[in-house]
Amino acid sequence: MTKSQEIVNNPFLNKGTAFTEAERKALNLEGMLPPRVQTLDQQVERVYAEYQQKSNDLEKRVYLMSIFNENRVLFYATFAKHVSEFMPVVYDPTIADSIENYSRMYVNPQNAAFLSINDDSRETIRQSLLNAAEGRDIELLVVTDGEGILGIGDWATQGIDIPVGKLMVYTAAAGIDPSKVLPVVLDAGTTRDELRKDPLYVGLDQERDYSDKYYNFVDNFVQEAEDLFPNLYLHFEDFGRSNAANILDKYKDQFLVFNDDIQGTGIIVLAGVLGALNISGEKMTDQTYLCYGAGTAGAGIAQRVCEEMVQAGLSEAEAKKHFYMVDKQGLLFDDMPDLTPAQKEFARSRSEFENSEDLTDLLSIVKAVHPTIMVGTSTNPGAFTEDVVKEMAAHTDRPIILPISNPTKLCEAKASDLIKWTDGRALVATGVPSAPVEYNGVTYEIGQANNALVYPGIGLGAIAATATTLNDAMISAAAHSLGGIVDPKQPGAAILPPVDRLTEFSQTVANAVAQSAVDQGVTREQISDVKGAVENEKWYPVYSDLTDLAD
């Protein structure tokens, strides 16, 4: 390829019709582009107009991805102008359709690294990461093994769109430089037979590996990534229930790592609960918490809220008494043989109930324990039925209800139903965006309890502070920093800040996390001006002069 072709084909350099006359001359681009030089604003207008022509969200997403593949500045400049409109298209829920159709729609690897358990030597992994990074200095890496994609299960290699999409949100929300990021998928096989049988499937045709070989593969990847990119922030996403917590626990004291489903979700739900208590005027330590769907996210959230009760003055044993975990078996009891380690922490004793054998369905459980907070992470659509919700609302003034299973088709309840069934008393947030609900003359704004509202700021804060670890104090600081953004006195106020202010509160979260790291002294460098360090780390979608790339 000639140098001029390399430039126009490099999404980190390409400006399309916005290459200036001087650049076209200096870089030998004359004749390679139509003659009129356009501004970035004009390009953004053109992209948005074309986007609006697309007939459904998946087509819109495919179109935006083509812009992303060609020109990062143009993609992010357009995204910045339409944040709340683009979020559900670029990210959840439309990303779920794009993952399910990934192989048949395959067009471009999107600068991702694809690693295979069949070739898991450290040399191959190292070379693969180097190839995908193309000499770029990587500071943020999002990795999945595709086993627990949202609530839609095992999509193995097709799950790569999750790291790609999460990284897009990092840049749009927090201004992470898109040339410093790397999406990675670890293909360890799949449990989904229909994928394996599909001749178009681009991943490995083999059973998912659950042996030590899998952990060895993950370890080779982590060690090589940490070695190649020494200042790395390593984000784990959508690993399966049997692996996610193990992997986080294995690396969290050694490297700067983050599990979004456990920690990010814990933070956003805690922030939502704090927002709800701010509205109701109730105390955290008076709450009774019901986790419905005690998997990776459910347990991560319960741990975070429990930690908050401990910080509010309860002993750990006292705090745990406020929690009830429900999974497929019903209410979880400590004599059940198949509990996960995280479930065991919160399992109850049968002796607490006269009818423990009957506590196998949500309605009976709600009747027995009278929760004041109910969080759904079960992937069981519609599980928060009218009966369940009315029963809950009969025993508490302001029931806090967060059905956050994604995507939309898996959500435990619709926000509009929750408001209606509780006569406007419920304090609600959902995992995907929900439209405001009109009820009895009040407009109820529905917050989005999605980790996307916090993980970009956490990453930016940790990277800007040169943090060496991401610890509980930093995580708690992130959750508390979102308070005060919503006016709790406004009737129908949301419990979480609105997505159209995502960039603003990502900055707030980043400042809080960076400040906490600096206060604790867990940074590589001495930082005196925390806000300045966060601002310095930010990238903005504007073109820079490329004439000096000329030979």
Ligand X SMILES: NC(=O)c1ccc[n+]([C@@H]2O[C@H](COP(=O)([O-])OP(=O)(O)OC[C@H]3O[C@@H](n4cnc5c(N)ncnc54)[C@H](O)[C@@H]3O)[C@@H](O)[C@H]2O)c1
Ligand Y SMILES: O=C(O)C[C@H](O)C(=O)O
Cα distances (Å, whole numbers) of residue 361 to 117, 301, 384, 387: 40, 21, 11, 12
Residue whose C-beta lies closest to ligand X: 295
Q: Which of ligand Y, Mn ion, ligand X, none lies near 266, with the C-beta cut-off 5 to 8 A by kind?
A: none
- 298 binding partner (options Mn ion, ligand Y, ligand X, none; Cβ < 5 to 8 Å by kind): ligand X
Give the position of tokens 């009895």: 440
CA distances to 358, 378, 535 from 531, rounded to whole Å, are: 54, 39, 6
With residue 204 as reference, give the H or E element that holds it. Answer: none
**Smallest separation, CB 233 to ligand X (Å):** 19
Catalytic residue among 15, 76, 102, 166, which? 166
Q: How many CA atoms lie within 13 A of 428 on its CB side?
A: 32
* Alpha-carbon 430 to chain mean position: 14
Q: 3-class DSSP state for residue 325?
A: strand
- Count of chain residues binding Mn ion (CB under 5 A): 2
Residues 440-459 that bind Mn ion (CB under 5 A): none
- Output the CA–CA distances (angstroms, integers) from residue 4 to 345, 479, 546, in the order listed: 60, 47, 12
Give the one residue of 145, 261, 307, 327 binding ligand Y; rule: CB under 6 A.
Answer: 261
Residue 91 bears catalytic tag: yes
Verify binding: residue 237, ligand X, rule CB under 6 A.
no
Residues 132-171 within binding reach of ligand Y (CB under 6 A): 150
> Applying CB under 6 A, does 451 fall inside the site for ligand Y?
yes
Cα–Cα distance, 202 to 190 (Å, whole number): 12
- Min dist CB 160 to Mn ion, Å, is 14
- Which range binds ligand X by CB under 6 A, 47-55, 125-133, 290-298, 501-509? 290-298
**Contacts of 363 by beta carbon, 8 Å cutoff, 6+ apart:** 385, 387, 388, 391
Kindly state the smallest distance separating residue 263's Cβ from ligand Y, in Å: 11
Q: Cβ contacts of residue 135 below 8 Å, gap of 6+? A: none
Which candidate in 51, 76, 91, 201 is catalytic? 91
Residue 179: which of ligand X, Mn ion, ligand Y, none does it interact with, CB under 5 to 8 A by kind?
none
Residue 312 CB, nearest approach to Mn ion (Å):
28
Q: Is residue 449 involved in binding ligand X (CB under 6 A)?
A: yes
What would the x/- binding string for ligand X be over residues 186 to 225, using CB under 6 A?
----------------------------------------
445 makes contact with ligand X (CB under 6 A): no
Which two three-digit tokens encode residue 35?
A: 């003659």
Q: Is 48 a catalytic residue?
A: no
Q: How far is CA 23 from CA 17, 33, 77, in A?
A: 11, 12, 21
Measure the CA–CA gap between 114 and 172, rounded to whole angstroms. 24
Q: Does 280 bind ligand X (CB under 6 A)?
A: no
Residue 317-356 contact track with ligand X, rule CB under 6 A, x = bound:
---------xxx----------------------------
Chain centroid, CA 470 distance in Å: 16
Which long-range contacts does 118-121 make (Cβ < 8 Å, 24+ apart)?
118/204, 118/206, 120/213, 120/216, 120/217, 120/220, 120/221, 121/220
Residue placing its CB nearer to ligand Y in the complex, 77 or 299: 299
User: Which residues, including other chains, have CB under 8 Å from residue 491's CB and lie 6 or more apart?
Assistant: 442
Residue of 46, 241, 390, 395 that binds ligand X (CB under 6 A):
241
Interface with ligand X (CB under 6 A): 148, 150-151, 241, 261, 265, 268, 292-298, 326-328, 377-380, 404-406, 410, 431, 449-451
> What residues are labeled active site?
91, 166
Interface with ligand Y (CB under 6 A): 92, 150, 238, 260-261, 406, 450-451
Interface with Mn ion (CB under 5 A): 238, 261
